[in-house]
Chains A and B, each alone.
Chain A
Amino acid sequence: MKKGITGMLAILFVLLSTAAVFGQAAQQKVELLWWAYPRFSTTGKDPGVYEQELVDRYGKLNPNVTIKIETLSYNGGPAKVNVAIASNTVPDLIDDDPVRLIADYATRGALVPMDDVIDRSKVLDAFVPDSTLDGKFYMYPMSALPICIGVDKTIFQQAGALGLLPLARSDRSWTYDDLTKALDAVKNVKGVYPTALWAGNEQADVGMRMVLQTFGAKLFAPDNKRLTLNDAAGVKGMEWLVGLKQKGLIAPGAEAMLASDAIDLFHQGRVALSMQYDSSQLLPLRIAQKAGKAANFDVVLLPYPSAPGASSGTSLALTGVAVFKTADQAKIDAAKQFAKWLCNAEDIVLSSIGTVPAIKGMRTYGQTHNDPEVAFVDTWGGTHNIYAGKVTKGWAEVRTKWYPNFQAALTGVKTPKQALDDFVAAANEVLKKYYP
């Protein structure tokens, strides 16, 4: 009898153990979908190639997790995500910037909080506000990119105007008078426009807005719920921008130009100074130059000018990874772990477009690659004024009000003040929905 009971217990034990093992194995098999913007452009690889290498690498460490990548374009990606949210067909994770992840998707409740995988004490303080909503992390911050002005040093050398650039100053600080003189100095270089502005769509609007902010305009009221960019300083900034067209200092067609068109002109040597530039454009340019696929010229990076005596400014464009709210908790957990892995490996973080890691203790791109120009810019977060592209609820819609009004100012349909007033009024109408 005793033998019988013991035997039955043994069989039961074996069955339960087997079920547990198989059950665990079945639970751990997770297939994730990652929608990836081409944010690893500094590797010089085609979009999706480096991401696939990362997935393969992660798959070796976590054989039960398989990750499928779908590459998004900056032009169509946001619309695709919007449709996915409305139709409940979201991917498991996405990499993007806080303007969409926090100000849009998290605000709409489409993302899950990530506080359980983020050690707040390890995130650089400057990046916490843009990664959180109502005190919770909804984006695993990866890296940030200091936004600069790019200058074709070769053109300025040829024009004998190199001395007009603030290269001798330790922090490269300069004023808008200095910038205007520098642009004037290359006005007559044959086949070259001093600079280019863009109002074709909302992309890279930060470059134009930075001008207004570095003129001293306050983007928001202190409560962050109302735009105040149309203060006296903002109007001066807008007048300066529009004045560039009247003085013949910009390439024609600003009202229809995209930021990417302006960068192309800069890379083709048709524009001497790019009003928005950063390391993520400089590094692929260098790769292309080395391969003989781009013209050889030197680029120097400068901060945005400021009022005399003030430190010049930059804006840190943060990027990170977020996990969508789906019905499958196992997938959510696995996606969070993958996001954590991506954002905590220095080599991966420094392959992204950001050159300054968001997690403490990592070196910057300039330091690891012994690149003095990029290393110098990487320090600006601590040495220059930081003008944040504020992440607030409704910002995605607010941005769409900027470019039609900037077009109106550039084409003379509205005065600079009227265009700025109309933009701010339309933006505040949008913000009213979120902050009644």
Chain B
Amino acid sequence: MRATARGITKDRISGYVFIAPAVVLFAIFQIFPLFRTAVLSFQEFIGSTFVPVGAKNYIELFGDKIFARSLLNSTLFVAINIPVILIFTLFVSYRIYRSHRVLLGFYRIAFYLPSVASIVTISVVWKNLLNPVMGLANYVLGLAGKAPVVWLGQGYAFGSLTLILFTINVGMSLILYISAMQNIPTALIEAARIDGAGQRRVFFSIVLPLVVPTTLFVVVINTINLFQSFALVNLLTKGGPYYATSTIVFQIYDTAFWLQRYGLASAMGIVLGVVIAAVSLIQFTIVNRDVEY
């Protein structure tokens, strides 16, 4: 009995030793910054030192119209993109997942390329395409006899960024759905077909329920990614015109690194973390009910 206990203890110790490097790195690079951000959110950088200011940053934040606008923009990016990404990727994946492997490889590369390309490169390409004076988009409009459009200007900037964010985020979701659909036993689909089910019925009654775990993953990951939209905004619009495309993370960057208000920026970071956690929890609760593992 004692020997067994010792054995268990030994196993435990060796287990802890194996996970120690990962735990230490996680603590240093994830837990500590999180803790430090929480502490900073109750301080302010004055002169060259951090001074405690209590809840002042949070109070200021909740009266800040620009932060409210940025929160709304971030939420809208999520609310618009998530359904569009889901519908598009489900539909396209269902159409192509049984294609010849060469063709399937081509689709995978084509859709996944924007996800792995440098965001700077993507921004430069889009900036040139959407240039109001010399861009391809307005050139095409000109050929059709239409007036040029300021794609990153008033009334269009938010839509343009939504479209670009869609192209960046759609690739990973598509790859995941293709894999999930390929894992569905062919016998199930064939049996349904024999029973007279059409394409639509097979999709809604067999494929869709069986890819719910993937849907949950796609929804949560894309929600987090979209809430954290920053580089594209910073490189293409700087949050303009007049805060029409400002996002929370862009405001965090601007507040911390340009205005030197690290405390206020940390408070924004904490609020963003809480918002993402709350939205993810809701998504888990709604989607998880029907998940079959």
Which residues of A come within 8 Å of B, CB atoms? 78-79, 82-83, 85-86, 108-110, 193, 199-201, 251-253, 255-256, 265, 268, 270, 396-397, 400, 403-405, 407-408, 410-413
Contact = CB atoms under 8 A, between A and B. Distances in A.
B22 to A, nearest CB: 27
A252 B132 contact: yes
B259 interface: yes
11 contacts: A78-B258, A83-B257, A86-B45, A86-B48, A108-B47, A199-B241, A200-B240, A255-B241, A255-B242, A256-B240, A397-B259
Nearest to B147: A252
A396 B132 CA distance: 30
Contact of A82 (B133, B134, B240, B257): B257
A411 B262 contact: no
A199 B152 CA distance: 12
Contact of A256 (B148, B241, B254): B241
B133, B243, B253: most-surrounded residue (chain A CB, <10 A) = B133
A86 B240 contact: no
A400 B241 contact: no
Interface residues of B, number: 27
Contacts of B45: 86
Contacts of A255: 150, 153-154, 240-242
Contacts of A82: 257-258, 260
The secondary structure that dominates the B interface is loop
Given A79-B253, A252-B132, 19 more contacts: A82-B257, A82-B260, A86-B48, A199-B241, A200-B237, A200-B240, A251-B133, A253-B150, A256-B157, A256-B237, A265-B133, A396-B258, A400-B254, A404-B242, A404-B243, A405-B242, A407-B242, A411-B242, A413-B154
Contacts of A408: 241-242
Contacts of A110: 48
A256 B150 contact: yes
Interface centre among A255, A265, A270, A410 (most CB of B within 10 A): A255
A247 to B, nearest CB: 16
Interface string B210-241: 00000000000000000000000000011111
Contacts of B259: 397, 400
A408 B238 CA distance: 14
Contacts of A397: 259
Contacts of B260: 82, 85-86, 108
A366 B177 CA distance: 66
Nearest to A403: B240
A85 B237 CA distance: 27
A348 B97 CA distance: 65
Contact of B152 (A193, A253, A268): A253
A114 to B, nearest CB: 19
Contact of A400 (B154, B243, B258, B262): B258
A12 B107 CA distance: 83
A90 to B, nearest CB: 10
A147 B24 CA distance: 55
Nearest to A271: B133
B148 A404 contact: no
A201 B258 contact: no
A252 B134 CA distance: 11
B134 A270 contact: yes
A411 B153 CA distance: 8
B200 to A, nearest CB: 43
- Which residue, B47, B237, B254, B257, has most C-beta atoms of chain A within 10 A? B257
Contacts of A251: 132-133
Contacts of B131: 253
B16 to A, nearest CB: 33
A253 B242 contact: no
Given A108-B48, A270-B134, A413 B240 contact: no
Contacts of A78: 258
Contacts of A411: 153-154, 241-242
A149 to B, nearest CB: 20
Interface in B234-282: 237-243, 253-254, 257-260, 262
A396 B254 CA distance: 12
Contact of B148 (A252, A265, A403): A252
A251 B131 CA distance: 11
Nearest to B154: A411
B240 A404 contact: yes
Nearest to A414: B242
A265 B135 CA distance: 12
Nearest to B134: A270
B242 A85 contact: no
A220 B141 CA distance: 46
B46 to A, nearest CB: 9
Contact of B242 (A265, A268, A413): A413
A230 to B, nearest CB: 18
